[in-house]
Structure 1
Amino acid sequence: MTIQKSLIQTRPKMAPIRPRRHVDTQRLPEWAVLAGLGATALVLYLWGLDLNGWGNPFYAAAAQAGAHDWKSFFFGSLDWGNSISIDKPPLAVWPSAIAIRLFGLSSWSVLAPHAILGSATVVVFYLAVRRVFPRGTALTATLFYMITPVVFLMSRFNNPEATTGFLVALGFYFAVRSRESTRWAPYLLCGTMFGLGFMAKEIQAWIPVPALAVGLLVFGAGTIGQRWRRVLAAGASMLTIGLAWIIVVDTVPAENRPYVGGSLGNSALELAWDYNGLARFIQLNAPGLPYDGGPGRLFNANLAVAAGWLVLPALLAAIFIFVYAWQGWDRGQKFLGLSSAAAFLTVAVILSFMGTMLHSYYTYSLAPWAALTTAVALHRLRQKADRWAQRALAVAVIGAGVYGQLRIIEYGIEWPPWAPWAIGVLGVAAAATHFIATPPRRALQAAAAVLTAVALSAAPASSNIFTASQPQEGTNPASGSTSRYPMALKNVLDGVRASPELSWAKEVDFGAPPDSRLVSLMKVAASSSTWTLATYSAQNAAQYQLASDTPVMSIGGWLGSDPSPTLAQFQRLVRTGRIAYFADFSIIRDHPDQLSPEARSIAEWVESAFPIVMSGEPTVYDLRRSPP
């Protein structure tokens, strides 16, 4: 014992082993992560924003009207004379209207509120996922969502998508909160957010609701009776909030409000169930616009560039979640994983088979669920990284994502030749690390997660460079590079801008550049008339209203096809001196598929009764000079 004690006492002391320094994201406070996400998204969405001008002049003019007049604000009027409303509920116009009222009319006041809403959606999306899954999974899902090209595009534009996305994200967040307890408040707030989403883009906001409702019924807290009562209460809240504006509008006498644009019967309810509802699902074959619905639609040159980058891996991930991944998860993870996979499949099927009235930016509804489904499945696969089958499936998800990116890159003509090779190398590196990153090799597992996120987001993030470098204006903003396919949306729009034979389509989609002479006449007439100008179609009216900052009547609404005003109504307004000028765009009038009979009757009457004060395109008539 003495010898051993002596040896121990005389043994030289070893220097303490210092742990290797590394960045541990778990040590970052949650507020720092949220601030970083929000700031990153805001910089991305605001950078060079004024390149987009007015964005969609149709909605910009409605925001301008709402900034001038509270009645126009509530009804979503296209002008503050309140002749006709836009063809959507007004909520998505309100952020820009408030900004214009506070800061004046500019490209920034029109577009920046939507960029702010887009970045706020990123934060809310992260918060929802983070309540259930680890920080790394929440960050991966949020990254996938934030850089999806259609999300980037519509967060820099004034269509209703950014507002709708924000409200849907809030509804999703409160659905996650609802699952945690039997408290009534989260359920009611969930329903309220989806109801407000309906006020922004109507049926589009409700597409994920069935998946979330079923998830709450199956995996919610409390007894089955408690879950049913709370889900039904959430549904009642959603319907009450969503339909309140419609009920108010249809209750107000027609003579005391603007005509409901997009409806044939001057009804907000008709607008919701017909033009913005059933009509979107009707399959039509029009000249030059064949029906292209089917399983491959999400992979075509228009929709794939917008949101198809994660469709293939999300499909594999959804199958994996339904078949296997939910086993071993807690109830919160089961709810979020299965509900997101169900919502993804629901949106994918609807977009694939809906009717011809489809814009590529409708894929905005797909982006959050594709991102979340993919990230959640990858999280589960990393948990089982000690099994060869799980590692092989993770590699399959990565491979599907890389393959999808390579195919979408082939659509574009502006990608550098090394881009496919770079994406391929990233994919191989991510796949390789999954085969060697077995427990307990935590550093390799972290590297595999980071490489996977980079491999699946590099190409869509790069695609946003093309989007940000080109003006996005008019009715159909488009993501990514110019396409090598003639019938791709970007090429069609470029053809519309360049072709004299398609001038009518240019005016419908973008509006005619305002003539400075007419704008000057309108400003002079503003003090003595309710509307300084009446014209068609809506984009032409919007361009002149924005340029002159005076109210312009859009005859027939969006396409000039709404039966408002009638000839008798128009004549009465002219006789009382409320309309100063009429601008006849002959390119629109001469096209057989444009204008309603009422609009044509008005044009013919004006042509026969009033003097021309400006010739050309448009021909301008002074409605105050010769009594009809």
Structure 2
Amino acid sequence: MDKPPAALWITGLSVRLFGLKPWSIDDRLAHLGGLLAGAVMALTPVATLMFRFNNPDALLVLLMTAAAYAVLRSIQDARFRWLLLAGVFLGFGFRTKQLQVLLVVPGLAAAYLLAAPVSPGKRLLQLTGAGTALAVSAGWWLAAVELIPAEDRPYIGGSQINSILELTLGYNGLGRLNGDETGRPGIAGLAGLGGVLLWQRRAAAPARAVRRGWQGAAAHDGGCRCAAALAAPLAYSLTTAATAHSGAIVSAGPAATGARGNFAGLGNFGRQGTLAGPGPLANPGTANSTRAPGGFGGRGGGMGGLLGTSTPSDALVTALRTDAASYTWAAAVVGSNNAAGYQLAAELPVMAVGGFNGTDPAPTLEVFQQLVADGKIHYFIGVSMMQGETGSDAAARISEWVAANFQAEAVGGATVYDLS
């Protein structure tokens, strides 16, 4: 896990209460203005894109919005407790996605300094109190993780040295601003390719909707123009919400001609046999047919890789469930999205080698070898993965060791190694 746990607490509690089902319940009501504002935000394409799956961004935006509301109430009512509550919301936002929540703090602080109905000295004193509330509500979890010995807690995903401070200041901190994220799989390149894909879709339904809207509203007032302008985001958002998705990078808008799963059509990111090292069962005659097992690319296991996942075959699920009680992990596979697909299908523990994108040094080759020797892992599944630009090569070394020491077999379209 390369994020703090707040968003996972919410979804975990939901599963505890309602079970693992593809629906949720929200029966809260609000004033008409709030409902309209919420509808506008919900119909914004990027919100529809990010909030439709269990990424921390939805909770992060909710907490930042709640903090802004609390600051406004503090200014309107001249009540310090609202400002303290804003600090608590921001602290909880830190436990959702760490330093990214601080992007709104300068604006909120400036608004209070300029508009609070108290003396300037009291404004500074109260902001200090709110900052303390933020630090306490965010810092207790950080301190707890840092103080617990590494051998008594899970590995800190996204960190190269198993440190929550490194994760906070690097991968989930300054790295989000300067792009220096260890193990990042070329996100800037994906963004550029996404722009190309959007340009290819310029004749699709959302683009046509906005053109027609502006043409139809040309003779009317500004309100009609605004309504017409919102028609395009509405059409795009509805298409996004109606399209099934899988994996870590979800799909937006209508599918482009020749593309598979929207972003997947651009180089088959996270799909079979295109980016990096293939397994022994890779398609002959391809550029990727000589390197070793699974891990980073190749035909491997046919699961989604970094940017997606899919449902494994019935034959593979049956194999994973066979004698599963005798093992701690029914299987091991590179990447957390790959592991998630197998784990949800088989309802059994599956080890995510290398963390989210396969570049965490967890487990190391030595640790993995010991787990295999102890009979803890039943299968290793070769998969296609897009390798990160930096980070540990432990997952690649594990993949190579498995391929060199165990026999590969095809099970339901996947490359599987029996480690028993």
Instruction: Name 2:247's counterpart in structure 1.
Output: 474
Structure-1-length-normalised TM-score? 0.55
- Relative distance call for 1:211 and 1:104 in structure 2 (3 A) is same
Deviations 1:18-50 (A, max 9, x none): xxxxxxxxxxxxxxxxxxxxxxxxxxxxxxxxx
**Cα shift at 1:568:** 2.2
Is 1:245 the counterpart of 2:141 in the alignment?
Answer: yes
- Relative distance call for 1:558 and 1:146 in structure 2 (3 A) is closer
SS at match of 2:205: coil
Instruction: Name 1:54's counterpart in structure 2.
Output: none
Instruction: Name 1:578's counterpart in structure 2.
Output: 376
Q: 2: distance between equivalents of 1:257 and 1:283?
A: 28
Instruction: Name 1:389's counterpart in structure 2.
Output: none
SS at match of 2:332: strand
Q: 2: distance between equivalents of 1:187 and 1:496?
A: 48
**Cα shift at 1:183:** 3.0
| Letter paired with 1:494 | G
SS at match of 1:508: coil
| Letter paired with 1:224 | P
Instruction: Name 2:321's counterpart in structure 1.
Output: 523
Alignment of 1:374-453 (within 5 A): 411-415=202-206, 420-426=211-217, 428-431=219-222, 451=224, 453=226
- Relative distance call for 1:262 and 1:417 in structure 2 (3 A) is closer
Instruction: Name 1:60's counterpart in structure 2.
Output: none
Q: 2: distance between equivalents of 1:188 and 1:290?
A: 37
The match for 1:271 among 156, 167, 175 is 167
Unaligned runs of 5+ in 2: 276-296, 299-303
- Relative distance call for 1:103 and 1:291 in structure 2 (3 A) is closer
Alignment of 1:350-361 (within 5 A): none
Q: 1: distance between equivalents of 2:212 and 2:123?
A: 51
Instruction: Name 1:623's counterpart in structure 2.
Output: 419
Instruction: Name 1:28's counterpart in structure 2.
Output: none
Structure with more helix by fraction = 1
- Relative distance call for 1:232 and 1:552 in structure 2 (3 A) is same
Instruction: Name 1:494's counterpart in structure 2.
Output: 265
Structure-2-length-normalised TM-score? 0.80
Deviations 1:262-302 (A, max 9, x none): 11010112111111122222358x99876799xxx9x9567
SS at match of 2:381: strand
**Cα shift at 1:489:** 11
**Cα shift at 1:517:** 2.5
Instruction: Name 1:214's counterpart in structure 2.
Output: 110
- Relative distance call for 1:544 and 1:140 in structure 2 (3 A) is closer
| Letter paired with 2:107 | A
Alignment of 1:546-557 (within 5 A): 546-557=344-355
Instruction: Name 1:561's counterpart in structure 2.
Output: 359
Q: 1: distance between equivalents of 2:208 and 2:76?
A: 50
**Cα shift at 1:581:** 1.9
Instruction: Name 2:15's counterpart in structure 1.
Output: 100
The match for 1:461 among 234, 239, 242 is 234
Q: What is the root-mean-square deviation in Å for CA atoms of aligned residues? A: 3.7
Q: Is the 8 A contact 1:531 1:553 kept in 2?
A: yes
| Letter paired with 2:325 | S
Q: Is the 8 A contact 2:185 2:388 kept in 1?
A: no
Aligned residues: 389
Q: 1: distance between equivalents of 2:397 and 2:253?
A: 43
SS at match of 1:581: strand
Instruction: Name 1:600's counterpart in structure 2.
Output: 396
Q: 2: distance between equivalents of 1:410 and 1:423?
A: 19
The match for 1:149 among 21, 24, 45 is 45
SS at match of 2:204: coil
Q: Is the 8 A contact 1:536 1:554 kept in 2?
A: yes
| Letter paired with 2:75 | R
- Relative distance call for 1:290 and 1:418 in structure 2 (3 A) is closer
Q: Is the 8 A contact 1:478 1:489 kept in 2?
A: no
| Letter paired with 2:238 | I
Q: 2: distance between equivalents of 1:225 and 1:159?
A: 40
| Letter paired with 1:425 | G
Instruction: Name 1:395's counterpart in structure 2.
Output: none
Q: Is the 8 A contact 1:423 1:459 kept in 2?
A: no
Q: 2: distance between equivalents of 1:413 and 1:481?
A: 7
Identity of aligned residues (%): 33
Q: 2: distance between equivalents of 1:609 and 1:490?
A: 36
| Letter paired with 2:12 | A
SS at match of 2:220: helix
SS at match of 2:155: coil
SS at match of 2:322: helix
Unaligned runs of 5+ in 1: 1-85, 127-134, 306-407, 432-447
- Relative distance call for 1:549 and 1:561 in structure 2 (3 A) is same
